[in-house]
Amino acid sequence: MDRQGNIINPSEDPQLSKETVLNFYQKMTLLNTMDRILYESQRQGRISFYMTNYGEEGTHIGSAAALDPSDLVFRSIQRSGSVDVSRFSSGYVHGSVLCQC
């Protein structure tokens, strides 16, 4: 993609629907919001440790979008975005992430 948003090589266009792209954007925004809240909680001493995903939202959401529902995800400190997008309910995932802090 060039700086104006035009696809340089049309043969590599994944042909994603507007709904799918918007879903990815919403998940990246949610991850950023979750990072901000949890990082501030860590700085205030309410949780012991948290590492942000700032600037990495697209890599987490994009790589997880290629997963099949049967694929296993082994979460690490900075991969909460991958877990969020991978066919689990958001409440369960965010709750389990928070319980690990």
| Digitized pLDDT (tens) for each residue of the chain, 101 residues in all | 899 988 899 998 889 999 998 988 998 898 889 889 989 999 999 988 888 888 888 888 888 888 887 877 776 665 555 555 544 444 445 555 555 54
CA-angle at 27, arms to 22 and 32, nearest 5°: 125
pLDDT at residue 9, rounded to an integer:
93
Tokens at 45, concatenated: 């001493």
Note the pTM of the prediction, 2 decimals. Answer: 0.67
> Residue 47 sits in which domain range?
16-99
pLDDT at residue 19, rounded to an integer:
93
Q: How far apart are CA 83 and CA 67, in angstroms?
A: 11
Structural domain includes residue 83? yes
Domain count, the chain: 1
Structural domain includes residue 6? no
